[in-house]
Amino acid sequence: MGRTVEGGMALTVVGLTGGIASGKSTVSSLLKDKGAAIIDADEIAKEIMSKGKPVWINVVNHFGEQILNDDKSDIDRKKLADIVFSDRIQLEALNSLTHPEILKEIKKQLENYKKAGRKVIVIDAALLLESGLDALVDEVWLVAVDEKTQIKRLIMREKDMAHAQALNRIKSQMPLKEKLKYANRVIDNNAGIEETREQIDEIWREIS
C-alpha cells in the first residue's frame, strides 16, 4: 500500500493506534529498527505537562491541590489518573487542556521529519482516532489484542494498577470493534513478539 514511485519509496505517514497496552510501543520499536521515524504522542504529552510549563500550570489551576504530590512540588500522575479515568467530564477537561498542545507538537515533528526526507513516519498515538489525528495520516495501522490479554499485560506492566483501574482506562477509549472500521492494516499482537515481528517484516516488504 505504501505508494512507490520511480527511484524509491514515496512518503507514507502511518498512524499507529490501539488501546492501552495493546503493544504500540513494541510495534513502534520494530518499525524504528526498519528505519521509520517515530512520533510518540505519550512522550509529547509528558513533555508538555512537565513542571512549570503552560499546560502544567493550566492543569494545576483546573484540578487544584488534590493532584499534587506530598511536598506539593509537582503533579502526581497517579492521582490525576484516578480522577480523570473515573469521571468522563474531568477526562474531557484534561483533554481540552492538553490535546491542542500535543497536536501542535505532533505537527511540528511531522514537518521536521518530512523536511529531513524521511520516507516512513509513524505517529504512535492511543487516541489517534478519538482525537481526529488520523486526518494527518495516509494509513491507519491498528495493533489488536483480546481484552483479556490487554488487561493481563496492563496489570503486569503497571504493578500498582488495580483490575478496576485497568478496566476504567480501557473503557475511556474507543472500543476495538469501532477502531477496526478505520484500520487499513491490523497487526495481531496476541501471540509472542516473534509472531508480531513476522507481521512487521511482511508489512515492511509490502510498503518498500
Ligand X SMILES: CC(C)(COP(=O)(O)OP(=O)(O)OC[C@H]1O[C@@H](n2cnc3c(N)ncnc32)[C@H](O)[C@@H]1O)[C@@H](O)C(=O)NCCC(=O)NCCS
Which residue ranges make up the annotated binding site?
Answer: 21-26
- The reply on whether position 24 binds ligand ATP by CB under 6 A is yes
Which residue matches cell numbers 505537527? 107
Nearest CA among 94, 181, 97, 91 for reference residue 144: 181
Residue 23's binding partner among ligand ATP, ligand X, none (Cβ under 5 to 8 angstroms by kind) is ligand ATP
Instruction: Out of 14, 153, 168, 173, point to the residue binding ligand ATP (CB under 6 A).
Output: 153
Q: Which of ligand X, ligand ATP, none binds 153 (CB below 5-8 Å, type-dependent)?
A: ligand ATP
Choices 4-12, 30-38, 124-132, 137-145 (CB under 6 A): range interacting with ligand X: 124-132
Q: Which of residues 125-144 bind ligand X (CB under 6 A)?
A: 125-127
Nearest one of 173, 116, 113 to 137, comparing CA atoms: 113
DSSP letters for 91-152? HHHHHHHHHHHHHHHHHHHHHHHHHTT-SEEEEE-TTTTTTTGGGG-SEEEEEE--HHHHHH
Rule CB under 6 A: say whether 172 interacts with ligand X: yes
Question: Contacts with ligand X: how many residues (CB under 6 A)?
Answer: 20
Binding-site residues for ATP: 21-26
CA distance 83 to 75: 13
Single out the segment in contact with ligand X by CB under 6 A; choices: 77-85, 105-113, 186-194, 198-206: 77-85
22 binds ligand ATP (CB under 6 A): yes
Number of residues that bind ligand ATP (CB under 6 A): 16
Q: How many CA atoms lie within 13 A of 106 on its CB side?
A: 30
Using a 10 angstrom Cβ sphere, with 0-12 exposed, 13-18 middle and 19 or more buried, the burial of residue 36 is buried
Residue 96 CB neighbour total at 10 angstroms: 11
Nearest distance from C-beta of residue 22 to ligand ATP, angstroms: 4
Q: Which of 25, 58, 86, 90 forms a contact with ligand ATP (CB under 6 A)?
A: 25
Q: Are 16 and 28 in contact (CB under 8 A)?
A: yes
Helix or strand (DSSP H, E) at 196:
helix 193-207
Task: Please choose, out of 68-76, 113-121, 159-167, 187-195, the segment that lies near ligand ATP by the rule CB under 6 A.
Answer: 187-195
Instruction: Name the one range near ligand X by CB under 6 A: 30-38, 120-128, 141-149, 187-195.
Output: 120-128
- Grid cell listed for 45: 504529552
Q: Which spans of this chain sit near ligand ATP (rule: CB under 6 A)?
A: 18, 20-26, 42, 126, 153, 157, 189, 192-193, 196
